[in-house]
Amino acid sequence: MFDSFATKKFENRKFSSLNARDLVDSNQVPNFKLDKEKKIILISGPTGVGKSDFAEYLAGGLGTGAVILNCDMGQIYTPISIGTSKPDDISNCYLFNIVDEPLDFGVYAFRNMVLACLNKCWSEGKIPILVGGSGFYIKSLFYPPISLDVNEKSDAEIIREFENISTEDLYLRLQYIDPERMQQIHQNDRYRIERALFLWKKTSYKPSALKPTFEPIGSCFYYFLTRDKQLLRNRIDERVSRMIDAGWLDEVRGLNDSWKKFLLRKKLIGYPDIIQYLKEGIDDQASLIKTIGYKTALYAKRQLTFWRSLQRQLIESDPDKHYIKDIQEFDLTNNFECLKDIIEKKINES
């Protein structure tokens, strides 16, 4: 479920000059030698904060020496664009619109593709700017996912075992198997509950025992963007309204049943609500916008919590700043130019 990836689906698909079949192996993370001279800029932050706008602004300041790589899970899927807020121009970007079918794209596949893109950027003397808010994707760039594939069952077979079991019962099952991991997950967070049970069934190891090692992909300048809490909430509500006006409902209406089922399971913000809205024939867009805005704000809060935990972990993993050259949280309000100058100075000094 979580790292299952049909490489053959990408046989004839190319993005930029990279062939995806050569980049993806769903079960192995390639050997990668750490190199302090290989620099990356990582821009993250909660949904709606303005990551993409700032990254484009920063890339423009760096000129032709910079290229943007997507680190947002939703934006890798071709048919869903409005609800994932893809940039209008992705001509000088990597890892957008690379999955055409409703397939899971796990952290193994993601890290492998990022490494291939980074090597291409570095070989051309360019500075990669990684942008996105998907915490587990970003974390995999510092702590490679552990591959312990000892169960002969396919990922799909394991997934089906969970389908008709309530979240409450799955949570109790996790409590019995791994109380330590259970205490780290909210009882209603079905995605992470299933992930933990999947890892146990796939590897026969308790999820809490699978501790990743620190292997960053290069010298990283990591910036998490924030805004005033109320200002961010206002931006989120305005963003949802704009996406509805831009045709989000029509985008969802045009998806086939396989995609709708996939999005319901993935719980990408807004899509399950719109699928249900259309199914029930409701005619109350104001309530729909309010619901999606509320859920997006909750997600933004979780992103902030995840970031602060990851920030502490990275500082502890690299106290002498061999690879984490700079890691900061910045309030983006009226500070585009200031932050751009700070990043450019840090890059030039390193």
281-325 pLDDT, tens digit each: 988 999 999 999 999 999 999 999 999 999 999 999 999 999 999
- pTM, rounded to two decimals: 0.78
- Annotate 73-110 with three-state secondary structure: HHHHECCCCCCCCCCCCCCCEECCCCECCCCCCCHHHH
Q: How far apart are CA 162 and CA 127, in angstroms?
A: 43
pLDDT band at 36 (very low <50, low <70, confident <90, very high): low
Residue 167 burial by Cβ neighbours in a 10 Å radius (0-12, 13-18, 19+)? middle
Domain range list for the chain: 7-145+213-229+304-349, 155-209
- The CATH classification number of 7-145+213-229+304-349 equals 3.40.50.300
Domain covering 155-209 in this structure, CATH number: 1.10.20.140
Q: Which pLDDT tens digit goes with each residue over 140-177?
A: 999 987 765 556 667 778 878 888 899 999 999 999 99
Residue whose pair of structure tokens reads 């992705």 in the numeric block: 90
Rounded CA gap, 311 and 222, in Å? Answer: 9
Nearest 5 degrees, angle CA 218-CA 46-CA 138?
25
Q: How far is CA 237 from the centre of its chain?
A: 21
Distances (CA, A) of 311 to 169, 224, 317, 324: 33, 9, 10, 10
Q: Are 61 and 344 in contact (CB under 8 A)?
A: yes
* Element holding 330 (H helix, E strand): strand 324-331
